[in-house]
Amino acid sequence: MERGILHFFSSEADFQAGAAGAELMRKYGVDRRVLGRDEVLKVEPALATFGPNIHGGTFTPSDESGDAMVFTQKLAALCRARGATFLHDTAIARIDTAGGQISGVRVRPVAGGAARTLVADQYVAAMGSYTAPMLRQLGIWLNIYPAKGYSATLKLKRPHDASVVSLLDDTRKIAISRLGDHIRIAGTAELAGFDTSLDGATAQKRCTALVRRYEELFPGVADTSEPHYWTGLRPSTPTNIPYIGRSKIANLWLNAGHGTLGWTHGAGSGQALAELISGQRPALAGFGFCGEALPPTRSFVPVAQPQGKQA
């Protein structure tokens, strides 16, 4: 949906911080505007009930939103039509090396069955949060940690009173996206290792908090009796900047650690990496690509490894 993204703030301090952030974005060419309360309500009139609590907002008209699952499924179909093969329900068990290079990737169907080795000339490690543990066997220590997030999707009871523009309830760090006759509320970050369960006490609390907040903002607009909950792991780095580029193994490339913005940055990261692997200078100038990739602005910096581990 090409209607922009509107951040709104329910505290003055948050609004001031958001306005300062918007100025920085404008400095780097992003049209992020600072809005007073009335202008916020003009952009998204559905916020009227909550309006008295709003101190201001920022709006980026060029931002887009959508359904990430539909996007990735359609993208996969386009790739298949161009000859790509996807091995679903197949896990990488091991990465083999020979002569200081990757020589193959050992994969096995998750449901069981024979393992086999896939061989290529270049390899890309893009397993989100799982990239870090997977590459440790090669002595590559990446500073990526899973930050668990949740979403709740609700059916709308009164679609005409629901928001259309994508919203960021910035004080609570909750995103609200309109998906036809449904609304999706996403947010929270929990450091819980690789746990992706939804039935624990903390998970349940966080999920119900999303629905409760939606009800505060848009009372009676959605059916809160049958929420569809989902959880995922954001592959987070301390800076929120991903590892893109060549690893210390010449034919192994990295594209991982996209944190809170992996969908937003997915296409650009993929394009830049394809350019690097093809020996071209990426159109995205000035980004600190890893390793010996061009331009050599950022050398590969592994995490300090625990004692006793081999680099």
Binding site for ligand FAD (CB under 6 A): 91-92, 126-130, 134, 149-151, 175, 186, 232-235, 256, 258-264
| Cβ proximity to ligand FAD, 270 vs 302, nearer residue | 270
Nearest distance in Å: CB 12, ligand FAD: 26
- Quick one: which of 264, 265, 282 has its CA closest to 274? 282
Task: Write down the number of H helices and E strands in the chain.
Answer: 6, 14
Nearest distance in Å: CB 233, ligand FAD: 6
Query: In the structure encoding, which two tokens stand for residue 77, read together?
Result: 């179909």
Nearest distance in Å: CB 63, ligand FAD: 10
Nearest distance in Å: CB 209, ligand FAD: 13
Task: Tell how far CA 257 is from the center of its chain.
Answer: 9
Nearest distance in Å: CB 249, ligand FAD: 17
| Cβ proximity to ligand FAD, 16 vs 232, nearer residue | 232
| Cβ proximity to ligand FAD, 10 vs 188, nearer residue | 188
DSSP letter at 199?
Answer: S
| Cβ proximity to ligand FAD, 126 vs 293, nearer residue | 126
Nearest distance in Å: CB 175, ligand FAD: 5
Rounded Cα gap, residues 182 and 156, in angstroms: 5
**Which residue lies nearest ligand FAD, judged by its C-beta?**
262
Give the residues across from 252 on adjacent strands. 123
Rounded Cα gap, residues 245 and 270, in angstroms: 10
With contact defined as beta carbons under 8 Å apart, do 192 and 155 qualify?
no
| Cβ proximity to ligand FAD, 41 vs 58, nearer residue | 58
- Quick one: which of 278, 271, 282, 12 has its CA closest to 122? 278
Rounded Cα gap, residues 155 and 184, in angstroms: 9
Give the residues across from 187 on adjacent strands. 150, 174
Kindly give the pairing relationship between strand 166-169 and strand 5-9.
parallel
With contact defined as beta carbons under 8 Å apart, do 305 and 141 qualify?
yes
Nearest distance in Å: CB 110, ligand FAD: 9
| Cβ proximity to ligand FAD, 56 vs 149, nearer residue | 149
Nearest distance in Å: CB 192, ligand FAD: 12
| Cβ proximity to ligand FAD, 171 vs 188, nearer residue | 188
138 Cβ contact partners less than 8 Å away, ≥ 6 residues apart: 95, 97, 247, 249, 252
| Cβ proximity to ligand FAD, 40 vs 132, nearer residue | 132
On the 0-12 / 13-18 / 19+ scale of CB atoms within 10 A, 178 is buried
